[in-house]
């Protein structure tokens, strides 16, 4: 076990930690430690809603979540000698839930997948699923099962939802400008088009006083992925992955959090994946001047992890960019993938799952979402690969018809 450079006391809110995390991106957040290239270390991480989601059978907690608090990130860690223009090489050595005994915080032997209500965040299918739902998952080593999804058992593809370097002031300015421009096109939209800087509930590590006030007004929210990596929600950033991250500030200032026990491509439920607190072991190195040399100037590149759960048989659903009302869109892969998801949900209901259960499942299980055709005007084609081995019954079509059964219920609001 490598040295812990960021500790979390899982019994306390992240607002009350000895060394506070940060839930915004800003270049001025001071590093909690500085390490040499070649160092390996551990970050302890708080689950993204700070322990306010419970291991119970009601989705009221999901309904009432406060999105302004997310995501508590552990770090930043500065790397000696890292300068703007370098590539920070980050190895994902290990990752897991909170090692302590069973407890009340996600990560302590369990995790959760939620669907946000449309009025509070929404999700990929929010028009179809405007209310809040939840599934609790129990951890058995790397395997997950859920009392809210009987008949399902799979090996998780554990990863950090968020890992990123600090933006420069200049880059942060670009983010704020372009996102403000988008918001301005429909400022009152529900859910919103983007989340502007918001000092309320902001926490910026050890930054205090005026420096805090100034930074909190301009610090970027953690919801989206951006040029620094961030909330990419790439499930394949699992054990064994190596990421090459652009460095925008002195020291690089690496932070991570939002650990997922598992997730399907797209993290379609938004309060998605199987959320947990836990630990993340990283190794760091540098490629000096690598951004220019390799042309990695806009986003990270990476090798995916090589211990992904090995599924080789899939039932695959297809979607095209005609929306639910039959309206034709022009080469819109987003809609195509949404339709593939809806097709999968429709299919799963024939076996006895409720549409909400199916939606929660697709957010959490290691499904693959692929771009198939993106040029065949006017229809994009997207495909969703559902591993058949995660079900303890035969999910494949046959002349016998679907094995319909009572498959229980997910957690709902009261």
Nearer to its own copies, 75 or 114 (CB): 114
* Chosen residue from 5, 73, 92, 411 binding its own copies by CB under 8 A: 92
Residue 49 contacts its own copies per CB under 8 A: no
Distance CA 148, CA 193 (A): 31
Contact 17, 8 (CB under 8 A): yes
Distance CA 99, CA 352 (A): 35
Rounded alpha-carbon distances, angstroms, from residue 384 to 265, 317, 398: 9, 5, 20
Minimum distance, C-beta of residue 209 to its own copies, in the bound complex (Å): 31
Nearer to its own copies, 56 or 181 (CB): 181
* Chosen residue from 200, 209, 326, 414 binding its own copies by CB under 8 A: 326
Q: Binders of its own copies among 359-378, rule CB under 8 A?
A: 368-378
Count of chain residues binding its own copies (CB under 8 A)? 126
Rounded to the nearest 10 degrees, what angle do helices 333-349 and 355-364 cross at?
Answer: 120
Mark the segment that binds its own copies (CB under 8 A) among 47-55, 138-146, 200-208, 209-217.
Answer: 138-146
Residue 147 contacts its own copies per CB under 8 A: no
Joined together, the tokens standing for residue 364 give 């959490």
Contact 183, 5 (CB under 8 A): no
Using the structure block, give the residue that is written with the tokens 């290239």. 37
Joined together, the tokens standing for residue 108 give 């302590």
Distance CA 379, CA 372 (A): 11
* Chosen residue from 188, 200, 209, 399 binding its own copies by CB under 8 A: 399
Residue 184 contacts its own copies per CB under 8 A: no
What would the x/- binding string for its own copies be over residues 52 to 81, using CB under 8 A? ------------------------------
Rounded alpha-carbon distances, angstroms, from residue 262 to 158, 162, 238, 361: 5, 14, 10, 11
Distance CA 178, CA 194 (A): 10
Residue 287 contacts its own copies per CB under 8 A: yes
Using the structure block, give the residue that is written with the tokens 């959320």. 275
Q: Binders of its own copies among 189-248, rule CB under 8 A?
A: 191-195, 223-227, 229, 231-236, 239-240, 244
Minimum distance, C-beta of residue 148 to its own copies, in the bound complex (Å): 19
What would the x/- binding string for its own copies be over residues 21 to 40, using CB under 8 A? -------------------x
Nearer to its own copies, 179 or 212 (CB): 179
* Chosen residue from 47, 179, 275, 356 binding its own copies by CB under 8 A: 179
């Amino acid at each position: 076990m490598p040295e812990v450079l960021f500790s979390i006391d899982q019994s306390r809110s992240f607002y009350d930690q000895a060394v506070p995390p940060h839930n915004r991106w800003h270049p001025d957040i001071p590093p909690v430690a500085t390490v040499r290239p070649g160092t390996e270390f551990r970050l302890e991480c708080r689950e993204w809603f700070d322990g306010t989601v419970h291991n119970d059978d009601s989705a009221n907690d999901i309904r009432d979540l406060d999105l302004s608090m997310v995501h508590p990130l552990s770090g930043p860690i500065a790397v000696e000698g890292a300068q703007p223009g370098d590539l920070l090489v980050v190895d994902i050595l290990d990752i897991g839930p909170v090692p302590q005994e069973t407890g009340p915080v996600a990560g302590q032997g369990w995790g959760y997948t939620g669907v946000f209500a449309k009025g509070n965040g929404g999700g990929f299918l929010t028009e179809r699923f405007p209310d809040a739902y939840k599934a609790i998952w129990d951890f058995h080593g790397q395997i997950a099962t859920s009392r809210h999804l009987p008949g399902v058992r799979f090996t998780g593809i554990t990863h950090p939802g968020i890992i990123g370097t600090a933006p420069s002031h200049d880059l942060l300015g670009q983010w704020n400008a372009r996102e403000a421009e988008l918001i301005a096109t429909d400022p009152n939209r529900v859910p919103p088009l983007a989340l502007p800087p918001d000092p309320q509930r902001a926490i910026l590590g050890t930054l205090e006083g005026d420096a805090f006030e100034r930074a909190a007004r301009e610090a970027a929210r953690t919801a989206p992925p951006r040029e620094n990596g961030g909330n990419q929600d790439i499930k394949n950033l699992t054990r064994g992955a190596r990421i090459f991250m652009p460095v925008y500030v002195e020291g690089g200032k690496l932070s991570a959090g939002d650990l997922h026990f598992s997730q399907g491509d797209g993290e379609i439920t938004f309060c998605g994946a199987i959320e947990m607190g836990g630990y993340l072991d990283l190794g760091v190195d540098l490629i000096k001047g690598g951004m220019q040399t390799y042309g990695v100037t806009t986003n990270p590149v990476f090798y995916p992890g090589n211990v992904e759960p090995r599924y080789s048989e899939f039932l695959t659903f297809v979607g095209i960019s005609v929306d639910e009302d039959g309206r034709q869109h022009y080469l819109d892969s987003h809609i195509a993938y949404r339709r593939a998801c809806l097709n999968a949900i429709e299919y799963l209901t024939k076996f006895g799952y409720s549409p909400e259960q199916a939606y929660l499942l697709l957010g959490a299980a290691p499904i693959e979402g692929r771009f198939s055709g993106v040029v065949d005007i006017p229809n994009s084609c997207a495909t969703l690969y559902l591993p058949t081995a995660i079900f303890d019954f035969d999910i494949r079509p046959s002349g016998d018809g679907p094995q319909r059964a009572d498959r229980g219920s997910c957690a709902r609001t009261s």
